[in-house]
Structure 1
Amino acid sequence: MRHIVAMASASLLACPSVTMAQPIPDWSIAQLEDAISEGELGKIKAAAIEQGGETIYRERFDKAEPGRPVDIKSAGKSITAIAVGMAIDDGALPGLDTKVWPLLGSERGAPFDAITVADLLGMASALDCNDWERRSPGQEEKMYRTRIWRDFALSLPAREFVRDEDGDGPFSYCTAGVFLLGQVVEAATGEAFDAYVERRLFDPLAIDGAEWRRSRSGEVQSGGQLTISDTALLKIGRMVLDGGEWQGQQIVSKEWLQHMLTPRHQLGEHVYYSNLWWATLLRSKSGYVPALMMKGNGGNMVALVPSFDAVLVVQTRNYNRKSAERNGFTVLTTLLASLGEAPAD
């Protein structure tokens, strides 16, 4: 799997992953734990390191029991990408070119009927939907105020939309579109989205206690807001690092993971977006190294670092705070530094 991640991260150079107003501190694990206990990083709930299949650090920073689930917000989108790949692997979903509106029985004409699974996976559809802009018709908080999210998402207006030479439209972060991917999985498989993910992903990895947010009408929020444990995230990260394999069972194909993790949009100097996964760099004792990430509001992050064969997890409740991302990267950087130099290939 390392070569897949290396290919996906080929565009990243050896320099900082994010531009911060203040530099990320160079702390030991003990200094990190002291800072968290003093509240310097807000509400950090849990942090963990898995390397080579072994959990080597795991700590809970509040009074909850270890392993108590935390809402990881949009980091759950990355699991939806895995679910789409499993549905394709199973032959239930024809492929990435599948037209979403016709599949869901909601033909509207152009440009809606041309929106594909690939468009929604890459946050590059014709929908006028941008969670980072409050005035956007598709901004996710507007969806949450409705009873039936499917109706909201399928009735969104279109934006000006031109595909590039690779067939991609311009990036626009759209949770409503990712919610529709869950509806696609349901239509293709004939199973509720959460039941399908449980059967195909969570059960084989012995993950329990995960819970998805639902609309008032009972729809599963496949666009994130997944409450899940740190141990579950370590397992999912390990499965991806191991090329989709878990204890001898192929959970999702290597071919899908290679596609899923290949960057499609450059969003910052060294920040890329692929298919509901992020690609960036993390500082280590060996310099800056590529990482592929699940990332959500509050600084909730899971980082796969192939050069260290490691999975790093930070769970927080720093929701909607300006300092949240920096604090999350502070935890990840400290965890990675604790592993020392990258092992020789």
Structure 2
Amino acid sequence: MKRDRRERVEDLTDPWSGVDADRLARAAKEQAERVVPGIRNMGSYLASQVSDVSHREVVGPLLDGEGASGVVVRRDVVLASWGDPGRTEMAFSATKSVLRERLMEPLGASTGWSWHGYADSAVECDGRHLPVVSGGAHWGGGLWISALDLALIGQLCLRGGEWGGRRLVSVRWIEELWRPCPVKPNYGLSWWLNDHRTVWPGAPSTGRCARGNGGGHLLWVDPARDLVVSSRWGAEVESLLAEVSAAIEPAPAA
């Protein structure tokens, strides 16, 4: 039977429309048990990540990991969570540029996130001593942020850079994030694109992600499902994405 227009509009606003709640809950429970090993001692964990000891010295602050955590967000509602999604964690390369006044405050982020540079890496700019952006936290430092706050960035991208009636990021910038690179079609501007399922074969081709530490930190955005998944210190994230995506139907084609 054909549904009327009002029903279709309600489906597009109801975050639970087309969601298998039981399957989603199972996916969250299973991910809580898949923890990246060794993270409770960040110094030894980082040492194990780089084999070349000639540049292994830690030059930024460290934050020990607590365990797997994350959230599944759809249409501004947290549908599932695991671990402590409000706990601040090192983000590695999951997201590489965040601005407090321009982005995080308008998004309503917590005050728990922070950014840390390297002790030996700074430049002089107009008389100011500015730390240089650190690379992925492999030598310490970087962005420290919770799964909940990281999910806000994903929601902003999903909305094309608008939030609460304000434009925080240009449409062109979002387009560039997700534009395939000519020399590596599954990579955009610091985002991985799953269009051909070469990044995560078990996840939908409609998704794209910012990931760090081999996926141990993940921000996944799927416009077809109006979906954001933020995962911290979780192993086997492809299984998480496959299960969550299977539990949430994509929106019908326009």
TM-score, length-normalised on structure 2?
0.63
* 1:55 equivalent among 78, 87, 109: 78
Is the alpha carbon distance of 1:58 and 1:33 closer, same or farther for their aligned partners in structure 2, counting shifts above 3 Å? Answer: closer
- The CA deviation at 1:32 is 4.1
What is the SS of the residue equivalent to 2:169?
A: coil
How many percent of aligned residue pairs carry the same amino acid? 26
Aligned to 1:71: 90
The two structures have a TM-score, normalised by structure 1, of 0.47
Alignment deviations for residues 110-144 of structure 1 (CA, whole Å, 9 cap, x no partner): xxxxxxxxxxxxxxxxxxxxxxxxxxxxxxxxxxx
Letter in 1 for 2:193: A
Find the counterpart in structure 1 of residue 173 from structure 2. Answer: 256
CA distance in 2, matches of 1:343, 1:296: 29
Other-structure match for 1:274: 188
Residue 101 of structure 2 is matched in structure 1 by: 199
Tell me the SS of whatever aligns to 2:107.
coil
* Matching of residue 209 in structure 1 with residue 112 in structure 2: yes
Cα separation, 2, equivalents of 1:305 and 1:330 = 16
For residues 88 and 211 of structure 2, what CA distance do their matches in structure 1 show? 16
The reply on whether 1:230 has 2:144 as its aligned counterpart is no
Partner Cα distance (2:252, 2:32) in 1: 35
Superposition pairs of residues 1-345 of structure 1, within 5 angstroms = 28-29=23-24, 31-32=26-27, 35-36=30-31, 39=34, 42=37, 45-60=68-83, 65-77=84-96, 80=97, 197-207=99-109, 208-217=111-120, 219-225=131-137, 226-265=143-182, 267=184, 272-280=186-194, 281=197, 288-299=204-215, 300-316=217-233, 324=235, 327-339=236-248, 341-345=249-253
SS in 2 for 1:58: strand
In structure 2, how many angstroms separate the alpha carbons of the residues matched to 1:203 and 1:37?
A: 29
Change (3 A) 1:283 1:53: farther
How far apart, CA to CA, are the structure 2 residues paired with 1:328 and 1:315?
A: 10
Root-mean-square deviation (Å): 2.8
Matched residue SS, 1:50: strand
The offset of 1:46, in angstroms, is 1.0
- Note closer, same or farther for the CA distance 1:46–1:73 as it changes in structure 2 (3 Å cut): same
Q: CA, structure 1 residues 262+33, in 2 after alignment: closer, same or farther (shift >3 Å)?
A: closer
- AA aligned to 1:68 is R
- Cα gap change, 1:45 to 1:265, in 2 (>3 Å): farther
Give the superposition deviation at 1:198. Answer: 0.8
Residue 72 of structure 1: how far off its partner (Å): 1.7
Q: Specify the code of the residue in structure 1 equivalent to 2:107.
A: L
Give me the whole-angstrom Cα distance separating, in 2, the residues matched to 1:310 and 1:290: 11
- The code of the aligned residue for 1:59 comes to W
**In the alignment, residue 67 of structure 1 is paired with which amino acid?**
G
- Report the Cα distance in structure 1 between the residues aligned to 2:160 and 2:132, rounded to whole angstroms: 27
Between the two proteins, the alignment pairs up a number of residues equal to 184
Compared CA separation, residues 303 and 40, structure 1 to 2 (3 A): closer
In 2: Cα distance, 1:34 partner to 1:48 partner = 11
Q: Which has the higher helix share?
A: 1
- Determine the C-alpha separation between the residues in 1 that align with 2:81 and 2:35: 20
Deviation at 1:307, TM superposition (A): 0.6
Contact 2:28 2:82 in 1 (8 A): no
